[in-house]
Amino acid sequence: MIERTEAPLKDWPNSDLLLDDAERAQFAVDYPLLHRIFDFEELRATFKTADEACKKLKTATHSEGIYTLIIGAVGVVLLGVSGLVPHQLLSSGLEVIALMITVAAGFWGMMQKFRHGDVRKRWLNLRSRLERTRQFHFQYILHNWDNAVEAMTDDQKYAEFVADRLAAFSEVNGRLEGTAKLARKLIEDVHQEEQWLLEDWAALSAPSAKSPNSDLLAQAFQELRIKIQLRYSRLNLDTDKNSVGANAAALETGASICFAITPVFALLTLGALISDAYPAVPFSILMLVSGTLALLFQALQLGLRVTEDRDRYEIYNAQLENLSKNYSSPDIAAKFVLLRQLEAFAYDELRSFLKSHSTAKFSL
Interatomic CA distance for residues 142 and 89, integer angstroms: 74
Interatomic CA distance for residues 358 and 187, integer angstroms: 9
pLDDT at 40 over 90: yes
Taking residues 208-234, report their average pLDDT. Answer: 92
Number of structural domains found in the chain: 1
**Under DSSP, is residue 39 helix (H, G, I), strand (E, B) or coil?**
coil
pLDDT at 75 over 90: no
Range of the domain at 90: 14-358
pLDDT band (50, 70, 90) for residue 112:
low
pLDDT of residue 316: 97
Taking residues 157-184, report their average pLDDT. Answer: 95
Q: Judge whether 289 lies within some domain.
A: yes
Mean pLDDT score across all residues of the chain: 88
pLDDT of residue 3: 55
Minimal CA–CA distance to 225: which of 128, 324, 127? Answer: 324
Taking residues 30-57, report their average pLDDT. Answer: 96
Under 8 Å between Cβ of 292 and 304: no
Q: Judge whether 2 lies within some domain.
A: no
Q: Judge whether 243 lies within some domain.
A: yes
pLDDT band (50, 70, 90) for residue 248:
very high
Q: Judge whether 52 lies within some domain.
A: yes
Q: Judge whether 228 lies within some domain.
A: yes
* Helices within the chain (DSSP H only): 21-30, 32-38, 41-84, 94-143, 145-151, 155-178, 182-187, 212-221, 228-237, 244-275, 281-304, 306-326, 332-358
In this structure, the number of other CB atoms found within 10 A of the CB of residue 11 comes to 8
Q: Judge whether 5 lies within some domain.
A: no
Q: Judge whether 364 lies within some domain.
A: no
Q: Judge whether 124 lies within some domain.
A: yes
